[in-house]
Amino acid sequence: MPVYFEYALKVSLCLAVIFLFYQLLLKQITWYKWNRFFLLTFSALSFLVPLIDLNLFIETQQLEFIPLVNFLPALTNKIPQNLIPADVGFNYRTLLPMVYIFIVLLLFIRLFIRIIAIKKIKSGAILTLSGDLEIYDVPKPILPFSFLNGIFINKNNYTNTELQEIVDHERVHVKQKHTIDVLIAELICILNWYNPFAWLIKKAVRENLEFIADDAVLRKGVDRKDYQYLLLKVTGIVPSSIASSFTITSLKNRIRMMNKTKNGRLHLLKFVLVVPLITLLLLAFRQKQAIYNSVSSPKIAIAKTYILSSLTYAVPDKKVEAEVEKDKENCLLKTGQTLDLDLIFNEKTRLLNFLGKNGHANIDPHAITFMIDTTLGNNSFSIQVNINFIKKELSKSKGVSTGEPTAINPQIDPVENRVLAAGDHGIRATSLNLQNEDK
């Protein structure tokens, strides 16, 4: 699945969860300002939550022990690259983004046209200033509405009392900057035009703003029934959907909420439930591949590469030692080479042949051992070749076959070929007693 499809899916799911949470738990309570904060804040967070990788904050090993994590499926869809067909010509991977961008541009143009329409209404209206408010008397059959710091109304359609109540209602929209809420809701719909929950959230935002304005008017002492009759009386056309109109939302819902008993503070605890809700979304959006690798797959140790830094010989017979040192240029082990057990085995075979040609044909293969020291640092190692002709001493040797390397300290007795003390840094020095029959 392309990244942008996956992101769009996650944003859509966030908006769906937010709307359902509001619809089921918050819509019926009378804490309208809290609802305003919830709808705007968490709708905006819907674009951010899919970008958060929970694995960056919590170790995947810790997630493994949370039963809910194992039960909750990860929505990240990882498809191996070799299973993704190559793009051939013009397909959905190029078509759908173009369609999306085209519709977004159209919706932005529509929004711009609606803003221009309000500008035109201003130009044909009579302006009256009331403090920091701009009241426009519009000689057209329009519904009263507000936009930014302006209130638009046809004064000839209402009595002075009705006009005052309408202006009080629209003043709440202006003072509390409700136009910003409306524009944010519009932006969410433009970017998520394919998601029905985005449009439902827009409707919920507009409706809740009217609840806030109605409640503010009633708190000023306006008679509830008279005000509700005024809502039923006001008629006209809506000049723009981005304006906060006096009766643009459902009158039935507004009247029902006006008659509803105010909820106590205990209902505010419902907002706390959004925290586990967001946590569940973050768990669902976790990187599936990262957790899979950590929990399900065994850890693979990466072997170090050791480079040979020095090669020395330990031979109790000085004559033999001189012969071996003289022949050192023919040694298969060269400084700068990587650690290779096969190469060491071949060098032992070569040494046996070399010693046989020089009068030592009866030498026991166990008499030649290789001591490897990896404690030099910087991934370097050294080799000491031990050649021991004394059978009695060979029986005492602590050499280890290539199949069973032993962790020891690199303090070595070259004559007895013994390990003197155990090291504390892992595998550091190993005695390799290579046999012809092992290969």
Q: What is the 3-state secondary structure (H, E, C) of 176-231?
A: CCHHHHHHHHHHHHHHCCCCHHHHHHHHHHHHHHHHHHHHHHHHCCCCHHHHHHHH
pLDDT at 365 (0 to 100): 75
Quote the pLDDT of residue 345.
86
At 251, the amino acid letter reads L
Q: What is the pLDDT of residues 240-273, one digit of tens each?
A: 677 776 766 678 888 888 888 888 888 888 888 8
CA–CA distances in Å: residue 394 to residues 3, 401, 434: 66, 14, 14
Report the alpha-carbon distance of residue 96 to residue 81 in Å, rounded: 21
Mean of pLDDT over the chain: 76
Give residue-wise pLDDT tens across range 47-93: 988 888 776 666 544 455 455 455 445 555 544 444 444 444 556 66
Residue 370 three-state SS: strand
Question: Quick one: pLDDT at residue 104?
Answer: 94
Q: Among the listed ranges 174-183, 317-326, 427-436, which one has the minimum average pLDDT value?
A: 427-436
Contact of 424 with 406, CB cutoff 8 Å: no
Residue that wins the pLDDT comparison between 3 and 56: 3
Band of residue 128 on the pLDDT scale cut at 50, 70, 90: confident
Assign 307 to helix, strand or coil.
strand
Mean pLDDT of 382-391: 77
pLDDT band for 126, please (50, 70, 90 cuts). Answer: confident
Least confident of 111-120, 275-284, 415-424, 425-434: 415-424
Residue 183 confidence class, pLDDT cut points 50, 70, 90:
very high
pTM summary value? 0.58
**Residue 378 exposure: Cα atoms within 13 Å on the Cβ side:** 6
pLDDT of residue 18: 92
Structure tokens at 253: 């819902």
* Beta-sheet pairing, 133-137 with 126-130: antiparallel
State the Cα–Cα distance between residues 295 and 288, nearest whole angstrom: 10
Share of the chain above pLDDT 90, in %: 19
> CA separation (Å) from 423 to 53, 372, 432?
42, 14, 17
Cα separation of 116 and 123, whole Å? Answer: 11
pLDDT at 428 exceeding the cut of 50: no
Per the model's pLDDT, the better-predicted residue between 116 and 429 turns out to be: 116
Which of 36-50, 322-336, 368-382, 424-438 has the highest mean predicted lDDT (pLDDT)? 36-50
Instruction: Tell whether the model's pLDDT for residue 190 goes beyond 90.
Output: yes
Per-residue pLDDT at 172: 92
Both tokens of residue 320? 């033999």
